Amino acid sequence: MVVVNLYLVRHGETEWNREGRAQGRADVPLNEAGIAQSQALASTFASMNVAAVMSSSSRRATLTAEAIATPHSLDVIPEDDLLELNFGGLDGAPLRDMREMFPDFFEHWTRDPATAQFPDGGETLQQLQDRTWAVVESVARSHDAQDNVIIVSHAFALYSIMCRALGMPLSNYGRLRITPGTYSLLISRAPNVIGPADELQWALTSLNVAPARTD
């Protein structure tokens, strides 16, 4: 039995996305393309019966979520645990400069990204996954069967959720692809009769779906 349908949405595009910059806690707004993407997402979900729209509290995610929630007359539920990975001292810098800026960190990242802590107050992928997965588990267990819940978040935050749901190590996040303004569908099911009694089962049934834009 399907417990809940989780539509995992990556926020619309920003200029920093175009420029290839690390975009963690910096509050960067959507650009014109990102606004159009958010409207396309809103059109896609408009005819669906949506139980809730949750979002990272960053502006780029909130703007995307508000566009989706408006046709349903829903308030967006802000959730700080859906914020993007804290890139620490790399936030705002071109990702291509990571090796030059922080060579020791870069070596650790390429060897074991799950435990590599971003310098100057950043976090690890494992810390990110711990907080994002707690949100997903809570949502799945608190909604009725067949509810459609939309979660708007960020690339690494969504990678961490999908890796956990699929039983993949975080080091394999690169096998997934989630571009701005897209959604993926993660379905939770009741615990398997031959598995742990309290463990939900998960299936990723759609990945990186880009709604058609009308602009």
List domains and CATH numbers for the chain: 2-84+124-209 (3.40.50.1240)
CA distance 149 to 52: 5
Q: Given this model, what pLDDT does residue 87 score? A: 96
Type and span of the H or E element at 145: none
Share in percent of the chain as helix, strand, coil (round to 5): 40, 20, 40
Tokens 């067949």 correspond to: 146
At 7, is the pLDDT very low, low, confident or very high (cuts 50, 70, 90)? very high
Looking at residues 164-173, what average pLDDT do you find?
A: 96
Q: Given this model, what pLDDT does residue 1 score? A: 54
CA distance 39 to 57: 19
Looking at residues 28-33, what average pLDDT do you find?
A: 97
**Statement: residue 181 has pLDDT above 60:** yes
Q: Given this model, what pLDDT does residue 190 score? A: 72
At 200, is the pLDDT very low, low, confident or very high (cuts 50, 70, 90)? confident
Give 197 or 180, the one with higher predicted confidence. 180
CA distance 209 to 202: 19
At 118, is the pLDDT very low, low, confident or very high (cuts 50, 70, 90)? very high
* 148 contacts 50 by C-beta, under 8 angstroms: yes
DSSP-based three-state secondary structure for 40: helix
Tokens 């998960």 correspond to: 202
How many angstroms separate the first and last alpha carbons of the chain? 39
Q: Given this model, what pLDDT does residue 196 score? A: 58
CA distance 144 to 166: 22
Q: Given this model, what pLDDT does residue 189 score? A: 81
Q: What is the mean pLDDT of the chain?
A: 93
Looking at residues 43-48, what average pLDDT do you find?
A: 97
**Statement: residue 122 has pLDDT above 60:** yes
Q: Given this model, what pLDDT does residue 212 score? A: 82
At 195, is the pLDDT very low, low, confident or very high (cuts 50, 70, 90)? low
* 180 contacts 12 by C-beta, under 8 angstroms: yes
Q: Given this model, what pLDDT does residue 199 score? A: 77
Strands (E), the chain: 2-10, 52-55, 77-78, 147-153, 183-189, 201-209
**Statement: residue 197 has pLDDT above 60:** no
